[in-house]
Structure 1
C-alpha cells in the first residue's frame, strides 16, 4: 500500500476525528476509497474503537431515488439510531462517477433531503469528518492525470496543520471582532452582517469544529446580506456543471438569480425551502497547498485566493448559545476567485486584496 494512504488515514483518525478507545465509529466508504478504508479500519482497531462500515455510492443512491416515489418516510428509525448512537462519522469519498445522480428529478432529491432532516442533524452532532481518496474519476473531473491528481490530493491533505491553524487564527480574530463584511470585485459588491457570530478556524480537526480533510478555511454565518455577487468558479451541483452564477440579495434573501450554464439547478436549490434563499456560510480559503480548481468543493473552497458563500444551512458552531442559525435542508457552496481586482473588507478596513492577506508578502 502507498505510504501516503497510511499517512492520510493517520491524519484522519488522530488529527481530524480524534478517535479514542471505546468510540463508536461509522465509516462510510465510497467504491473507490477501499484502500483508504482498509488503512483507516486498521488504525481504528489499533485505537480500540468500535466500527460499523456502510457503503456510500452514487449509483446506489440513483437506483433507490429513481425507483422511489416522492413520499419518503420521515427519519427512518434504523438510520436515525445509527447516528444517534455514534461518536464519530467518517466519510471516505471517491466514487466511480461524479455525475451518478444527475438524472434524479430535483423534486425527488428535495423530498428525500427534507425527510431526513433529523437523520442529518444526528449525523452532524457526531464528530464527523469528510475526506476523499484520489480516484481516476476525480482526476478526470479535475482534468488531471491520475498520478498528478494523487500528488495534488496529498499536498492538500498532508500539511503541517498546527502551523496553518496558527495563521488562520489571524483571520478568525478579525471576523470575531468585526460587525460587517464587504466583498468587492469587478462584478460583485456584497455586504453581510457578522455581528455576534463566532468564526471557525477550520484546520481539519473536530477540536476546532472543523469537519473536512483537507480543510484550510475560516468561516462564519452571515446575515442581513445586501447587494450582488458573481461566482466565476465552475462547479458540479447535483451532478450538473454550473457556471457563472449570479445572485442578488435584498434584506438577507436572494431576489434574483442567473447562471451561464444550468441556471435551473440554482433555481431548484433556492426552491428547496425558505432557508435556501439565505446564506448559511461565508468562507475564506487559506490552504495554499491547493493550487488549482478541480471541480470538487472539498478542495476548491479551501484554496487560497478564493471566497465562498453557501446557500442554506448555517452551522451551530458559528452561533451564540441558544441562538439558531439559518435552517435549511441544503448547504450549497459557490466560489469566487479573488486573486485579481478584488478586496475583502471588515468594518471598512481592507484585510485581503487580490488574494493576499494583510500579513502576507505582496499585500498592497
Structure 2
C-alpha cells in the first residue's frame, strides 16, 4: 500500500474528525475506495473506536431511483437512526462513473432529496468528514493520468493544515467584521451581498474549525440580500450533467433569471427544488494553493486558490451565532459553482479591496 494512503487515513482520523476512544463511527465507502477504507479501519481500530461500514455506489443509487415510483417516505426513521446514534461519519468517495446518475429524472431526484432532509441533518450533527480516494474515474474526469492525479490529490490533502489555518484566519477576521461583500470579475460578474450578523468559518479540514472536507482550504460565510449578476466560468458537473458558463441574476436575494452555455437544464432543476434553492447558502473564498488546476470535482475545485464559489440552497448553521441558527437558509440542496478570480477581478469588503487578481492584501 502506498504510504500516502496511510498518511491520508491518519490525517482524516486524527486531524479532521478528531476520533477518540469509544467513538461510534460510520464509514461510508465508495466502490473504488477500498484501500483507503482499509487504512482508515486500521487507524480506527488502533484508537479503540466502534465501526459500522456502509457501501456508497452511484450505480446502486441510480438503480434504486429509476426503479422507484417517486413517492418516497419522508424522513425514513431507520436511516436517520444510524446517524442519530453515531459520533462521526467518514465518507470515503471513490466511484466508477462520475456521471452514473445523469439519466435519473429531475423530479425523482428532487423528491428523494426532500424526503431525506432529516437524514442529512442527523448526519450533519455528527463529526462528519468527506474525502476522496484517488481513482481512475476521477483521474479521467480531471483529464489526467492516474499517477499524476494521485500526486495531485495528495499534494492537496497532505498539507500543513495548522499553517494554512493561521493564514485563513486573516480573511475570517475581515469577514466577521464586514457588512457587505462585492465580487467583480470581468465584464459579466458584479455581485453584492450582505454578511453582517454572520460568522465566517476558517475551513482548515478539521471539525475543530467547523470544517468537514478533506482537503479543505477556504473561508466561507452565509450571505443574504444578494443583488447583481454572476457568471460561473469554471466548468463543472452537476447531477451528472456538464455545466458551463452558468449565468445567474439576483434581485432581493433571489435568482430571478438564469442561463448557461451548456447544462442549463441542470441549473433549472436545482432552482426548482424548493424556495430556498433560489437563494444563496454560501460564499466561499478558496485558499488551498496545493490545488492548482480544475479537475471537475467540487471537493477540490472549490478550495482552489484564485477562486470564489457560491452555493445555491442550504446554509450551514456554523455561520450563525448561537441562538440564530434558525436564520439559516433552508433547502434540500446545496450546489456550489465557481468563479475564476485570477485575472481582471477583485473582492471588496465594505468598499476596501482585500483580493485583486487572486492575490490577498497580505500576500506578495
Q: CA deviation at 1:316?
A: 0.2
Which residue is equivalent to 1:94?
Answer: 94
User: What RMSD in Å do the two structures reach over aligned CA positions?
Assistant: 0.5
Which residue is equivalent to 2:332?
Answer: 329
Query: Residues 263-282 of structure 1: matches in 2 within 5 Å?
Result: 263-282=264-283
SS in structure 1 of the partner of residue 165 of structure 2? helix
TM-score, with structure 2 as normaliser = 0.99
Post-superposition Cα deviations, 1:163-206, rounded to whole Å, max 9, x if no partner, equal 00000000000000111000011111100000010000000000
User: How far apart are the structure 1 equivalents of 2:82 and 2:185?
Assistant: 46
TM-score, with structure 1 as normaliser = 0.99
User: How far apart are the structure 1 equivalents of 2:100 and 2:255?
Assistant: 29
User: How far apart are the structure 1 equivalents of 2:70 and 2:255?
Assistant: 27
Q: CA deviation at 1:258?
A: 0.4
Post-superposition Cα deviations, 1:295-334, rounded to whole Å, max 9, x if no partner, equal 0000000000000000000000001222220000000000
User: How far apart are the structure 2 equivalents of 1:74 and 1:45?
Assistant: 35
Which residue is equivalent to 1:248?
Answer: 249
Which residue is equivalent to 2:124?
Answer: 124
Say if 2:361 is the partner of 1:358.
yes
SS in structure 1 of the partner of residue 219 of structure 2? strand
User: How far apart are the structure 2 equivalents of 1:124 and 1:203?
Assistant: 17
Q: CA deviation at 1:348?
A: 0.2
Name stretches of at least 5 consecutive residues in structure 2 with no aligned partner.
none
Which residue is equivalent to 1:147?
Answer: 147
Which residue is equivalent to 2:181?
Answer: 181
SS in structure 1 of the partner of residue 86 of structure 2? coil
Say if 2:169 is the partner of 1:169.
yes
Which residue is equivalent to 2:64?
Answer: 64
2:351 to 320, 338, 348: 348
Which residue is equivalent to 1:238?
Answer: 239
Q: Is the deviation greater in 45-54 or in 320-329?
A: 320-329
Which residue is equivalent to 1:27?
Answer: 27
Query: Residues 167-316 of structure 1: matches in 2 within 5 Å?
Result: 167-186=167-186, 187-316=188-317
Say if 2:85 is the partner of 1:108.
no
SS in structure 1 of the partner of residue 257 of structure 2? strand
User: How far apart are the structure 2 equivalents of 1:77 and 1:226?
Assistant: 40
- Which runs of 4 or more aligned residues in structure 1 lie more than 4 Å from their structure 2 counterparts after TM superposition? none
User: How far apart are the structure 2 equivalents of 1:237 and 1:111?
Assistant: 17
User: How far apart are the structure 2 equivalents of 1:312 and 1:118?
Assistant: 16
Q: CA deviation at 1:282?
A: 0.1
SS in structure 2 of the partner of residue 31 of structure 1? coil
Q: CA deviation at 1:262?
A: 1.2
Q: CA deviation at 1:344?
A: 0.2
Q: CA deviation at 1:76?
A: 1.4
User: How far apart are the structure 2 equivalents of 1:195 and 1:73?
Assistant: 38
Which residue is equivalent to 1:11?
Answer: 11
Post-superposition Cα deviations, 1:13-38, rounded to whole Å, max 9, x if no partner, equal 00000000000000000001000000
Which residue is equivalent to 1:319?
Answer: 320
Name stretches of at least 5 consecutive residues in structure 1 with no aligned partner.
none
User: How far apart are the structure 1 equivalents of 2:29 and 2:116?
Assistant: 20
Post-superposition Cα deviations, 1:144-177, rounded to whole Å, max 9, x if no partner, equal 0000000000000000000000000000000001
User: How far apart are the structure 2 equivalents of 1:77 and 1:273?
Assistant: 23
Query: Residues 44-83 of structure 1: matches in 2 within 5 Å?
Result: 44-83=44-83
User: How far apart are the structure 1 equivalents of 2:232 and 2:113?
Assistant: 25
